[in-house]
Each structure stands twice: as C-alpha cells, then as structure tokens.
Structure 1
Amino acid sequence: MRKSELDTPCILVDRVKLLDNIRRYQGYADAAGIALRPHAKTHKTPEIARLQVEAGAVGVTVAKLGEAEAMADGGIRDIVVAYPIVGSAKLARLIALARRAKITVACDGIDAAASLSEAALQSGLVIDVWVEVDPGYGRAGVLPGADLDRLASALVPLQGIRVCGALVFAGHSYGAETDAEREAIARNEAGTALLAAEALRGFGFPIESVSAGSTPVGRFASAMAGVTEIRPGTYVFGDVMMVKAAALAIEQCALTVLVTVVSRPAADRAVIDAGTKVFTMDGEDSAIGTGRGYVVGHPAIEVAWFNEEHGILKLPDGERGLRVGDRLEIVPAHCCAVVNMLDELHVLDGDRVGATWRIAARGKVK
C-alpha cells in the first residue's frame, strides 16, 4: 500500500528517521559510558521498544502500569515504572506482572512504599524500588535533604521491597532557551541524583542505579558524571517542542500526522480533518512561527487552532492554492499526546507503507 491510499487522519512514521533517532541517542549514552532506558510513554509500541533494545537500550521506562503490561506482552523484560503504584487493584496487577518480567517501581512517599511492601510480602516476592527525588521541577519526588532522610529512615524496616536506586526528572529542562542552560540543568540533575544516592546508601540501601535525563538534556549525557542511565523518550519521534529544545532538527522528526483538507471557507483559511481529538492541546506552539504544528513542505502555513474535529490552517498569499481533498503531513507540537489518541501507526519506507503497528499501550493510563 502507498501512503496516498491511507485514510486520514493517521500517524505516519518514517522508518529511516526513526532508526536514525534511536541510534543517535543510543550513541550519546554509549559515549558517556552509561545505559539508555528510553521512556516508552512516547511511542507506546512494543515493536519500537524492541528496536531500542536491539540498538543497545537496557530496557524501557513507562509512566503507567498499563504501559508496563503492554511492553511485557510485547517481549520487553526489564521495565521501570517511573510512577507511584497506589491502590489494591494496581498492586495486584503489579505482582502479577513481576512474575513475568523484571519490574522496578518509583516511589516518593512512605504510604505507597508501605502498601507495596505488604503486597510483595503476601506474594512472596521482592520488588525493586527507586526513590524519586525532585531536582527542582516541582512535580513528584521527595525533596532532597531532610525530607529524603525522613523517607529513607521510614523505608529501612520495610520488607518485600529492595531500595536500590535513585531517580530524578528535571522537567524544567524543556523550558531552557540555550544549550548552556540545558547543560547546567543536566549537571544539576545529575548532582541531585548522586547526592540522593549517597544519602540512601547512608541508611544502608544498596543503591545500584542512579537514573536521570530526558530528551532535552540527552545530548549532555557525558556531563552527567555518576549517573548510571538516562531516560529520554520524545527523541524517538521528535516534535516541534523538541525542535525548540534543540534536541533535533525539524527534518529529523520521524512522526507526522497525515490529514486531508475538508473545507476552504475563505481564501486565507483551510480546514483539515483533525482537531484536538488527534493533535490535543498539549505542548507549545512552534518556535519557528508555524503555530500548533509544522506542515511538511509548507513552512509558511500556520497551524492556527483546533476544535475537537477541525484543524484550522492560516494560509499566506503563496499557499492559497490548497483544494478540498489535498493531503498534508503535519509534525505535531507534542508527539507523545498524539500517539495516545490513535490506534495504530504506519511505518513508511519511502512512500510505501512497510508495516502497520498497533499502538498497544494506547489509552493504557491505569
């Protein structure tokens, strides 16, 4: 099947660019002498996770237990759930999953840890735990210093879990404007993780893994001395947010959304068949002035705004020849959100569809 035969809207992935992105970030980790554990919340697709592992990744990171189950079903055997597991239903699923794959769970508080300890003891398993520490982003994570010490002290008597890692995520790196800022954030992130690891070792925990890093700072892995692995995710596809973050060029973005022009209500306006139920409103506008996405081959077109089912394109004078039925490819503002909206992605070899992969973890947010 050729790309022109696909119904729209749909996700396209350029195989060459995909593989290039996988190899490039694996190269950053290899050059730094640390492991790469890519975040699979971006692609949610076991076929891509297997490509990453084949290229050298030690396993994957996921955000939710449902993603971990989908990755295990797809053959991935080393999975870090970088999210607290809370509630009896999820703990039962976690125990079942831990019987068929190596599962590590992030934790930043005693309540979740105590519940996990009890569930593990009842099952006869020991679950690896990484303590998440906040490096200044202000999301999840115990604060370093006194708060971390209090948590570590409370963790000491718990059985059924093995505290063996420290994990940080400097999400504020996405807002950095220069490489100097990004490198400084990478160094600070690493420093926070290392201090946390030392603090935990002081309480007798065998800390083996010191995990940090995201796509914006992945290029600076060599500056993250002492970190044992990085967890970038968006690099695998790229999007306009990552172009703004200088993680890759717009031409290196592997994922696009194929859309059709369905209306031409005004000379300066075209309407496409994809709105927030495809592109979502997550992510920032393009740093190169193209709005909520980038129209491949038509950089002067602005992806102006979305309703649920409609995307509105603002057309300059030189782009007003678009007709109803014309097709366009758009690099989204945030690829991770788009992947969670559709059921499959089409892998292109040139203009031909070489494979169609089900997004197995799509909607797996429990």
Structure 2
Amino acid sequence: MNKSDLDTPYVLIDVDKVEKNIFSMQDRAKKSGIKLRPHAKTHKLPILAKKQIEAGAIGITVAKLGEAEVMVAEGISNILIAYPIVGTQKIERLFKLAKQADITVAVDRYETAKMISNRFNEDPALSVGIIVEIDSGFKRVGILPGEPTLDLALKISKLPGLEFRGLMTFAGQSYNAADIEGIKQVAMHEGSIAVETGKMLQKHGLNTEIISVGSTPTSRFVSSVTGVTDVRPGTYIFGDLTQVSIGVHHLNDCALTVKVTIVSRPSPDRAVIDAGTKVFTMDGSESPIGTGRGYVIGHPNIQVSWFTEEHGMLQLTSEDQYLTVGDTLEIVPVHCCAVINMFDEVAAVRDNEVEAIWPVLGRGKVR
C-alpha cells in the first residue's frame, strides 16, 4: 500500500530516516566510549526499542511503569524507569515487573526508597536497582548534588531489597539555551556535577556503575565528560521542530510527519486541515523557521498558524493558493513525543510504501 492510500490524520514514520538517526546516535556514543540507554517515551514502540538495542543500546529508559510493562511484555529486559515510583499500587506493579526483567528505578527522596524497600524486603530472593536523581539545574525533581546526594545514597544503600547502582540527572534547561554553545555549557555542567558527586560516593564505598546523563540536545557534548557511563536521549530517533530550533537535528532528517487533508478553503489565503490540538497538541514553541505550529513538507512558505481541537488553520501565500479541498499534506510537528501519544497506530513508510502498521503499545501509559 502506498502512503497516499492512508486516511487522515495519520502519523507516518520514515523508516530509512529512523534507522539513520538510530545508527548516528549509537555511533556517536560508541566513539565517546559510553553506553546508550535511549528514552522510549518518545516513540512508545517496542519494535523501535528493539531496533535501538540491536544497534548497540544497553537497554532503554522509560518515564512510567506502564511504559515499562509494555516493553517487558515485548521482550525488552533492561529498563531504567527515570521517574519516582510512589504508592502501594505502583510498588506492587514494580515488584511483579522486577521478577521479569532487570529494572532500575530513579529516586530523589529517602521516603520513596523506603517504601520500595519495604515491599522487596518481603522476598529476600528479589531486588530492584536504585539510582539517585540529582538536580543539575532544571529544578524539576532531584536532590542537590554533593553532600545531600551522598547522605541520601548512604541511607538508601543500607535498605534491604534495593541494589544501589549510581546516579542520574537531566538538564532540561538545555532547551532554553540561546545557541549550541549555550547547550554545550549546560551539558558540561550537567556531566561534571554527576561525575564529581559520583566520585564522592565512590570514596565512601558506594557502587557507581551508572552515571547517567543527557538528553537529545546535550548528548553530543556530555558524552565527552570522563566518568559519564551512559546517555539517555529520546527525541533523536524522530526529530522535530524543537530539535531543529536548537540546532541538534536537521529538518531533512525528521522522520515523523502527520499526513492531513484540506477540508475547507474559506478564503484564497486560508486553508483548514483535519487535525488540531488533538493531533499536534499545544506543546512546544512555534517553528524556528517561521512556519508557525508545524512545517509543511514541500511548502516552506505555508504558515501553520493556529489550532482548535479538530481544525488546523493554514495561512497560504500566493504560490500555494492552488491547493484545494481534498488535497493532502505532510507536516513536521513542533514536538514529536506529544504527537505519537495521540495515536493508536502509525504507518512505517519506506520509499512512500507502507511497510507496516505499528500499534503504539505505550500510548496513554501514564500510570
């Protein structure tokens, strides 16, 4: 089936570009002598997680237990859950998951680790990996580096049922950097904080087999910090306008697009498409190349100007006013992670032919 036969709105995944992006990041990690633990919250597709592992990734990162459960069910066996696991129900699910795969969980408070320990201590034959998340400046979650991290790690290391494995951090402030040099400075700061704190832990006999850092923006730089063991980029696999805007992805390498149909032409300079916020969401800033809330492939002067729930409004220049009701377009979104979570399935496309329909098994797994 040709992609032209697909109904709209539909997410298209260019498999050639995905594979190029996977191997490019893996090659970068290999040359830096570090491990790649890609974040699967971007694609939510076990088939792509397997491609990443086949290319050399040591495992994957997820945000939520639900994503981990989906991946384990499909045979992924090494998973970092980079999110606090809190509450009896979630800890019970974690307990069951740890019987099936090698699971590591990030925590930033003793109380969180103690609750997990209480459950795992009920079965002396079972344990779960624990790493401490450091706040390297993003001010989301994480404990302050240095002595506060050391104190927490020492306490956690004494808890039964837990296997202390090291540290992680996420410098989300890199997305606000003014340019590539700014991203580099954030990355080097992120890496050095994690490594120096790791050295403190090592002096006290604590295991630091994992010093995990990085995101798609910072991964190219932070991997050069001696002592970092792995990076966790996610968006690199598809790319989007946010990554293009900060100079870490090329527009031509963006692998995810949304196929849409023009459903109305209210005026010569305006077209309406069958996709709004329920497809593209309102996440992220506008296009860095002056095209609004998306980039229309082959029509660089069209403005994706605004959305309502079911409608997308396009502003047309004179050269694009030939477009009519029924015409289809492909749009690169501002933020690919948000878009794929809106769809039950996506089309894997190679040379304009639909190679497969992939169910988005991790979609909506927010618990």
**Interval containing the TM-score (normalised by the shorter chain):** over 0.9
Letter in 1 for 2:113: A
Which residue matches 1:333?
Answer: 334
Q: Does 1:206 align with 2:213?
A: no
Which letter maps to 1:341?
Answer: M
Structure 1 residues 222, 132: CA separation in 2 closer, same or farther (over 3 Å shift)? Answer: closer
Report the TM-score, using the length of structure 1 for normalisation: 0.98
| TM-fit CA distance, 1:187 | 1.0
Cα displacement string for residues 287-331 of structure 1 (whole angstroms, at most 9, x for unaligned residues):
110111110110100111111111111111211111111100000
- Comparing 312-321 with 220-229, greater Cα deviation is found at 220-229
- Distance in 1 (CA, whole Å) between partners of 2:119 and 2:205 is 23
Q: How far apart are the structure 2 equivalents of 1:339 and 1:357? A: 11
Aligned residue number for residue 134 of structure 1: 135
Q: Which residue of 2 aligns with 1:298?
A: 299
Report whether the alignment pairs 1:152 with 2:153. yes
- Contact 1:108/1:131, CA 8 A, preserved across alignment: yes
Q: 1: CA distance between counterparts of 2:326 and 2:220? A: 41
Once the two structures are TM-superposed, the CA of residue 200 in structure 1 deviates from its matched residue by 2.6
The CA deviation string for residues 118-167 of structure 1, in whole angstroms up to 9 with x for no partner, is 11111331111010001111111101134324423432431111111100
Supply the distance in 2 between the matched residues of 1:156 and 1:29 (Cα, whole angstroms): 30
Amino acid at match of 1:317: S
CA contact (8 A) 2:277 2:310 kept: yes
**Matches for 1:176-325 after TM superposition, within 5 Å:** 176-325=177-326
In the alignment, which residue of structure 1 is the partner of 2:31? Answer: 31
CA distance in 2, matches of 1:364, 1:326: 34
Q: Distance in 2 between matches of 1:11 and 1:222?
A: 32
User: Whole-Å Cα distance in 2 between the matches of residues 88 and 123 of structure 1?
Assistant: 16
Q: Which runs of 5+ in 2 are unaligned?
A: none
Residues 28 and 221 in structure 1, CA contact (< 8 A), matched pair in contact too: no
Q: CA deviation at 1:333?
A: 0.3
Q: What is the one-letter code of the residue matched to 1:273?
A: D
Structure 1: distance between partners of 2:201 and 2:321: 62
- Give yes or no for contact 1:9–1:259 (8 Å, CA) kept in 2: yes
CA contact (8 A) 2:17 2:255 kept: yes
Report runs of 4+ in structure 1 exceeding 6 Å deviation: none
Listed one character per residue, the Cα deviations across residues 259-306 of structure 1 (whole Å, up to 9, x for unaligned) are: 001111111111111111111001111111011111011010011111
Aligned letter for 1:81?
Answer: I
- Residue of structure 2 equivalent to 1:121: 121
Q: Matches of residues 37-186 of structure 1 in structure 2 within 5 Å?
A: 37-124=37-124, 125-186=126-187
**1:221 Cα deviation after fit:** 4.4
Alignment check: 8 A CA contact 2:239 2:249 kept: yes
What secondary structure sits across from 2:218 in the alignment? helix
Do the aligned residues in 2 keep the contact of 1:209 with 1:229 (CA within 8 Å)?
yes
Amino acid at match of 1:245: I
Q: Which amino acid aligns with 2:238?
A: F
In 2, Cα distance between the equivalents of 1:119 and 1:51?
34
2:344–2:359 contact (8 Å) kept in structure 1: yes
Q: Is the 8 A contact 2:145 2:193 kept in 1?
A: yes
Is the CA contact (8 Å cut-off) linking 1:29 and 1:221 kept in structure 2?
no
* Offset, 1:95: 0.8
Structure 2: distance between partners of 1:240 and 1:289: 11
Supply the distance in 1 between the matched residues of 2:75 and 2:150 (Cα, whole angstroms).
37
* Distance in 2 separating the partners of 1:313 and 1:264: 10
Q: What is the CA distance between 1:349 and its match in structure 2?
A: 1.2
Find the counterpart in structure 2 of residue 13 from structure 1: 13
- Corresponding residue SS for 1:364: coil
Distance 1:59 1:153 in 2: 26
CA deviation after TM superposition for structure 1 residue 222, in Å: 4.3
Contact 2:40 2:60 in 1 (8 A): yes
Structure 1 unmatched ranges of 5 or more: none
CA RMSD of aligned residues (A): 1.1
The one-letter code sitting in structure 1 at the alignment partner of 2:201 is L
- The CA deviation at 1:74 is 1.4
Deviations 1:198-251 (A, max 9, x none): 233344321111000110122224422210000000000000000012111100
Per-residue deviation, 1:29: 0.3
